[in-house]
Structure 1
Amino acid sequence: MTPAANDSPSGTSQEAASLRASPRLFENCLLDKLSRVHWSTPLFVYVPVVFVLASLSLQAYAAGPVLCATALGYFIWTLIEYFGHRFLFHYEFPGRYGARIHLLIHGVHHVHPNDPLRLVMPVLLSGPIMIIAYTVVRLLFGLPLGYPVLMGFIIGYLAYDMVHYYVHHGEPKTRLGLTLRRLHMLHHFRDSTRGFGVSVPWWDYVFRTAHVRAERGGTGT
């Protein structure tokens, strides 16, 4: 696993800068620019999609069925978030090219966890995920039932991205916000083999990957 799990968010200003500023990932200037994303980009791209899906859903069904299907889509996302983070993002692909793939997918975030431009998914990554999700939802549920399911899936994704940015660069005041931040900082700076549910920490308890209570004394936050 990327050695950043042993880093500490405290220390010299030089160390802090190292955690914050990540290097170029691509020689191509355009690709490298596209790999750096302002936190609001997913909102501008996908909130209009959510409104379109909501309109299509409510044209076909009453509010009750739409809410149920949306909840199902959100539930599906939570599993994708947990298992994707646990088994894909943290999978160490073999060989030199495998290490490069790991760095591009998630490793760079663990080496430079406070880089504000590499905290939410680039559209180059989230776009194909949404196309795949639409295809699967259409095959499994058909249309128009697939519209609210996909809407819930996208809402879950947006919640994940916004929570992820917030726990790194926000200033939580609520108990929930502080808990989410503490758990995610434990994942980064104490044990990267636990705490995979960024916005859905309950799955870590279900699948026994939650941080043990003995670790709660020092979070590195």
Structure 2
Amino acid sequence: MTGEMVGFTVDLSKPLVFQVGHLGETYQEWVHTPILTSESPRFFESDFLEILTRTVWWVVPVIWVPVGLYFITMSYTMGHSLPLVVLMAVVGAFVWTFLEYCFHRFLFHIDTESYWGNTFHYLIHGCHHKHPMDGLRLVIPPAEAAILALMFWNLYGILFTLSIRPVMFGGGLIGYVMYDMIHYYIHHGQPTKQSLKSIKDKDRNNTYRPACPVLKLYRIQNKGFGITTALWDRVFGTLPNTKAADKSG
């Protein structure tokens, strides 16, 4: 399991994670050719590992909203005024939108071709492109989110003072919950407001291949990285031109 197998074909009836690495340089084409069904494919032989990869959407707010509010309250009990705590929580959520953009642009959309590179990419984001309608893998599993949260908690300990650290972290968690809920909704809901419709179009542009026979949506891999807000796409010039894409089809 160290490299590409020439002519390798993924067997969709078997656990996928340790197969995709063998695709080598053909992985990118494979992972961006979506399977447009709501079925949730098996990732691992191990039932324990498999459970860790599947998450119903409501688990995210149930777990992380109380945790975020706890950390926000912590800064208040350390002596900061309520208006300042609220302001810093909003700033923390705003910082999350930038982190979200960076994750999508520089990590989730990297090009890989090595065995472990393909495997890692498929686990963290490629599966979302391959199975965009899998409702159990659209939000980040709690175990993965907890690891990321711990990393940022330690980072914030370097960047902020003891009393500001909790509220910035808590605000970031609330921002993350907003991101995951919006992401889930634009895939499985029916947005009525124009802003949400715009986000849905942009997210599909980033998910599907050109001229998809079912949804006629387009894949633009180098644009449209923000989900919660289009601000950073505007700032860095990565906002997709959906009208141009539609005309090209």
- TM-score bucket (shorter structure): 0.7 to 0.9
Give the % identical residues. Answer: 32
Matched, 1:112 2:131: yes
Query: Per-residue CA shift, 1:21-74, capped at 9, x if unaligned?
Result: 242112211111110100011111111112212322222211222123212212
User: In structure 2, which of residues 47, 50, 57 is the aligned counterpart of residue 32 of structure 1?
Assistant: 50
Q: Are the equivalent residues in 2 in contact too, given 1:22–1:108 (CA < 8 A)?
A: no
- Higher alpha-carbon Rg: 2
Unaligned runs of 5+ in 2: 1-27, 209-217
Of the three residues 180, 183, 187, the one matched with 1:168 is 187
**Residue in structure 1 matching 2:39, options 13, 16, 21:** 21
TM-score where L is the length of structure 2:
0.78
Given candidates 230, 233, 236, the residue that maps to 1:201 is 230
Matched, 1:151 2:170: yes
Give the stretch that moved more between structures: 60-69 or 207-216: 207-216
Please show how residues 46-195 of structure 1 align to structure 2 within 5 Å. 46-59=64-77, 60-189=79-208, 190=218, 191-195=220-224
* Relative contact order higher in (CA < 8 Å, ≥ 6 apart): 1
Letter in 1 for 2:67: V
Aligned length: 211
1:161 CA displacement:
0.4
Distance (Å, rounded) in 1 between the aligned partners of 2:90 and 2:29: 35
Report if aligned partners of 1:5, 1:192 keep a CA contact under 8 Å in 2. Answer: no
What is the CA–CA distance in structure 2 between the aligned matches of 1:34 and 1:145, rounded to whole Å?
A: 32
Distance 1:3 1:94, change over 3 A: closer
User: What is the rounded CA distance, in whole Å, between the counterparts of 1:203 and 1:187 in structure 2?
Assistant: 16
Match of 2:246 among 202, 212, 217: 217
Q: Which moved more, 1:135-144 or 1:97-106?
A: 135-144
Q: Which residue of 2 aligns with 1:43?
A: 61
TM-score by length of 1: 0.87
Runs of at least 4 residues of structure 1 off by over 4 A?
A: 2-7
Gaps of 5+ in 1: 8-14
Deviations 1:167-201 (A, max 9, x none): 00011111221111111112112212211101122
Contact 1:120 1:161 in 2 (8 A): yes
- Report which stretch shifted further, 152-161 or 46-55: 46-55
